[in-house]
Structure 1
């Protein structure tokens, strides 16, 4: 098949799904098992000299370090993704994450090597952050740049499906690990099982390397010699508004997701004195519904527009957060499940249209850099320190109200960013970012 005189790559839907969804799912599995371990055991294994609350704060701080590293990964991988191709950058990111997570599973703890243990833990967490920061742009563009006309939202959502699937996988593996071990065994060696299983990501990377072809858009960029020597500087110089507003669209998504997937585990077990399995089961159910909702919201965004779907999720999450915490605090398992599930479905209204929305903000030759930088900066602001900030707020005020207000503030910031951005879905077959049509940058003649 040819398009504008060039050969269209034969990336089948199955190849795209495996590279984008499966690879992203295992990548996020790796990222999330760290958050679960930080909430449950890292305070005891790597920060044993601190009191329980301080140990939890320190463990969540190492969780946040991964988010600080994500924009670095976005810059590094964005450069190579725009210069040498989406596929190569994606494969390297998958390999890097698999190696870092496996090594965490092999780390000696504080009792074995003292202060070197948390230092090594932080170093590997940084590598995880760099890997996921670089992988996301590749996973998104493998979908969006191979999408048929009018289906960019759906194809882009394949990468986002990896988020709840990865959360479910990480949660189920932890449930199994805690179920087959005693408390003493889990602290001694059971916590390592989820980390060591991440070697499977290397198999996905090998598949992508051997079977996946470069996207049509990138092939056209290579043939027309439109690549720039420094994509990250180019995107910052010509599209700074879209980078900042793109980051703004992520703030509520990240805050909402990590409040109702990571922080709720610690809140439910340490504050509400629920069993870990009760809260984790509720999180799993919410993530499963989220996985179903993401492509549905993506399809809806292809039909009625990205902004309408996104703003619906913003308003819904801001309204739901207070009833959600009341249900979690007073409703037993049913209340926790309902509160978390509705919140995660509303987060899906943001996740579904997001990849296509980000794709449409940047031209081909700087798109990997623009998408990666905007997404990872927004994730850092909204998600990196959300668990530790929420924990600190509860420690100070002993009520969920400040935490709920944090979600409302994030909704205001994200909603404002969405309102300022210009819908670019109608220009699906031209490579003109919304800021270009508003006069910020000149149009790029390449097709997407």
Structure 2
């Protein structure tokens, strides 16, 4: 393998024109954002159903907490699959190219999500139902494991000079957009079908068939995503690496051989982001709609539809913070921006006991908690699709950024709702915040040892 770079100074990743390899930048923006929007939509409808649907239809035995934990365990299964997906799709992304691999990851995720909408329940086929659900969830994880890093590379490797973090924030917007679509659709369906999550009717329209609608509708969005992505060209950074003969036979072996330090740093840089996000989406939904202490529970006792409205309001602040963080990361640098934001997340972790104190809980206090958490989420999530790719050379960038991102998903997201449910039940909600504080502290340390990548050319990384 040749590791030399051109004697001429490398060109900006995507030049300064309004097109890249003849493709309008607007199409690249849409392609990077629409794919992640679809992927996160698919992921979030599962997360919502894991709290409101699956405990009743796929894990009905035992008490409410046991069924919820079993459902969240299948939710976490996808995070185990995601590093495998990053290796699988990363191999083809670094060997074959970004475009073809992005199409494959989108199809994998979309087919699995559609099939979840067709699954029979435990009452129909017994234990085979949760087994099939787990298998589809695993396939969802494989698809998302290859999706994020491909979309991030599509954005960063075609960016204008000095605007990589701004370009890279577009796929990050897919997270709040997907969340808004998924939860908004669930809200409309539950209101239309008069579903009450606090006293679910197993024979009612929602649990009989209505919950399947968001999963089945994902097919339409997948078709749109495929149409946009098939009209793309390969990124110029990858094309130049191919011209220089830098492709390797086994990217996963190469990345562990040459970039193991970056893998560790990247994983822990993402840890707080993942922990915060899944506490603020999956766990908080189960807590907010759970039974109060007066009814023998530890939750806040909100009506399911009322809580979804609060979450949807908060997600608007998440979306608004993403472009702000992209601008900050380009203006002041990735490292200092994320150090300050991570410090704020650590402080936020200390406020859980105050925000979520059951005495005097009301809509205003819960909404304030959700808005603060989602604002911080947007600020920390926005620069990540620039930061992680910038750590790795082009010939292993798809694999390396994907492994770091998705390994963090196991450490930060797969276990976060499970641990949070346990801590809240046994020690109180304040300890959920302490858990977030610990995760953010580890991220803070990783940022301290991470190099600043703002001014580096993607062609020169690892040269």
Q: What TM-score results when the alignment is normalised by the length of structure 1? A: 0.93
Residue 198 (structure 1) aligned to one of 211, 218, 231: 218
Given the alignment of the two structures, is residue 40 of structure 1 paired with residue 69 of structure 2, yes or no? no
Partners in 2 of 1:311 and 1:323 — Cα distance? 19
Residue 143 (structure 1) aligned to one of 155, 160, 163: 155
Partners in 1 of 2:381 and 2:310 — Cα distance? 20
Aligned to 1:386: 416
Given the alignment of the two structures, is residue 72 of structure 1 paired with residue 98 of structure 2, yes or no? no
**Partner SS state of residue 164, structure 1:** helix
Shift of 1:405: 0.6
Cα displacement string for residues 372-417 of structure 1 (whole angstroms, at most 9, x for unaligned residues): 00100011110011111111122222x1122111000001110000
Cα displacement string for residues 79-124 of structure 1 (whole angstroms, at most 9, x for unaligned residues): 0000000011111111111110010001000011110000000000
Aligned to 1:302: 330
Map 1:389-428 onto structure 2 (within 5 A). 389-397=419-427, 399-427=428-456
Aligned to 1:368: 398
User: More displaced, 352-361 or 410-419?
Assistant: 352-361
Provide structure 2 residue ranges, at least 5 long, that are not aligned to the other structure: 1-9, 196-203, 291-298
Cα displacement string for residues 9-49 of structure 1 (whole angstroms, at most 9, x for unaligned residues): 12322211221111111110000110100011100100111
Partners in 2 of 1:250 and 1:335 — Cα distance? 28
Partners in 2 of 1:204 and 1:361 — Cα distance? 32
Aligned to 2:94: 82
Aligned residues: 431
Aligned to 1:273: 301
Partners in 1 of 2:342 and 2:270 — Cα distance? 11
Given that 1:27 and 1:201 are in contact with CA atoms closer than 8 Å, whether structure 2 keeps it comes out as: no
Map 1:184-223 onto structure 2 (within 5 A). 184-223=204-243
Shift of 1:201: 3.3
Aligned to 1:333: 363
Residue 290 (structure 1) aligned to one of 277, 296, 318: 318
Shift of 1:162: 0.6
Given the alignment of the two structures, is residue 27 of structure 1 paired with residue 39 of structure 2, yes or no? yes
RMSD: 1.6
Partners in 1 of 2:226 and 2:51 — Cα distance? 32
Aligned to 1:248: 268
Shift of 1:204: 3.1
Given the alignment of the two structures, is residue 351 of structure 1 paired with residue 401 of structure 2, yes or no? no
Partners in 2 of 1:230 and 1:358 — Cα distance? 20
Given that 1:153 and 1:353 are in contact with CA atoms closer than 8 Å, whether structure 2 keeps it comes out as: yes
Map 1:152-231 onto structure 2 (within 5 A). 152-183=164-195, 184-231=204-251
Partners in 2 of 1:430 and 1:255 — Cα distance? 29
Provide structure 1 residue ranges, at least 5 long, that are not aligned to the other structure: 434-442
Q: What TM-score results when the alignment is normalised by the length of structure 2? A: 0.90
Shift of 1:328: 3.8
| Structure richer in helix, relative to its length | 1
Q: Which runs of 4+ in 1 moved over 4 A?
A: none
Given that 2:32 and 2:154 are in contact with CA atoms closer than 8 Å, whether structure 1 keeps it comes out as: yes
Partners in 2 of 1:38 and 1:20 — Cα distance? 27
Given that 1:26 and 1:201 are in contact with CA atoms closer than 8 Å, whether structure 2 keeps it comes out as: yes
Partners in 1 of 2:32 and 2:191 — Cα distance? 31
Given the alignment of the two structures, is residue 98 of structure 1 paired with residue 110 of structure 2, yes or no? yes
Given that 2:191 and 2:305 are in contact with CA atoms closer than 8 Å, whether structure 1 keeps it comes out as: no
Given that 1:72 and 1:130 are in contact with CA atoms closer than 8 Å, whether structure 2 keeps it comes out as: yes
Partners in 1 of 2:147 and 2:69 — Cα distance? 28
Given that 2:90 and 2:402 are in contact with CA atoms closer than 8 Å, whether structure 1 keeps it comes out as: yes
Map 1:252-263 onto structure 2 (within 5 A). 252-263=272-283
**Partner SS state of residue 434, structure 2:** helix
Shift of 1:277: 1.8
User: More displaced, 186-195 or 9-18?
Assistant: 9-18
Given the alignment of the two structures, is residue 112 of structure 1 paired with residue 142 of structure 2, yes or no? no
Partners in 1 of 2:354 and 2:220 — Cα distance? 40
Aligned to 1:438: none
**Partner SS state of residue 425, structure 1:** coil
